[in-house]
Amino acid sequence: LEISSRVETRGQRIRILGEESEEARGGVAGFGDKTTMGDAPAQIPTSFGHELRACLRCRLVKTYDQFRDSGCENCPFFKMEDDHERIVDVTTPNFNGVISMMDPRRSWAARWLRIGKFAPGCYTLAVSEALPEEMQFLCQEERVQYVQPKRI
């Protein structure tokens, strides 16, 4: 019996032999049994070019089109879907590094970066600009934490 998991990128399939995959057990391949912010993991960026943006609150990294189509999985109260100005206000193309987090509850890196309670997905290590004041007030109204970047 051969047990494998698959990862698909741009139409290519990579098979990894090893432990029983989530997909074989009826789950989503590559992700833990439970997520903390929602039932599904965040979208993975469809490309890693100049169109990448990071949410200024949670630092989730996706393309502009992905934010336009489905917003931010961790910050639905920003209501980014189909709102160009809102996407520009609450996301930035200026960030440093990207980390992929698959199991937020068990990842020491996720705890260190303070993203352990967010949906599995790709996150930046640091953003270089602050969330606009009106969006900071919205975070307060929604009772969600916003941490200013260390260097602005």
Among 74, 64, 122, 117, smallest CA distance to 98 is for: 122
Q: Is residue 123 a contact partner of residue 152, using CB atoms and an 8 Å limit?
A: no
Q: Is 116 exposed, middle or buried (0-12, 13-18, 19+ CB in 10 A)?
A: middle
- The dihedrals phi and psi of 22, each to the nearest 5 degrees, come to -60, -40
| Residue 148 is assigned to a structural domain of this protein | no
pTM of the predicted model as reported, rounded to 2 decimal places: 0.72
Domain of 128? 32-141
pLDDT, mean over the chain: 79
Q: What is the pLDDT of residue 105?
A: 85
Residue 87 sits in the same domain as residue 123 = yes
Instruction: Verify that 116 and 87 share a domain, yes or no.
Output: yes
Tens-place pLDDT, residues 24-71:
333 333 333 333 445 578 888 888 888 999 999 999 999 999 999 999
- Determine, yes or no, domain membership for 80: yes
Handedness of CA 104, 108, 111, 115 (dihedral sign): negative
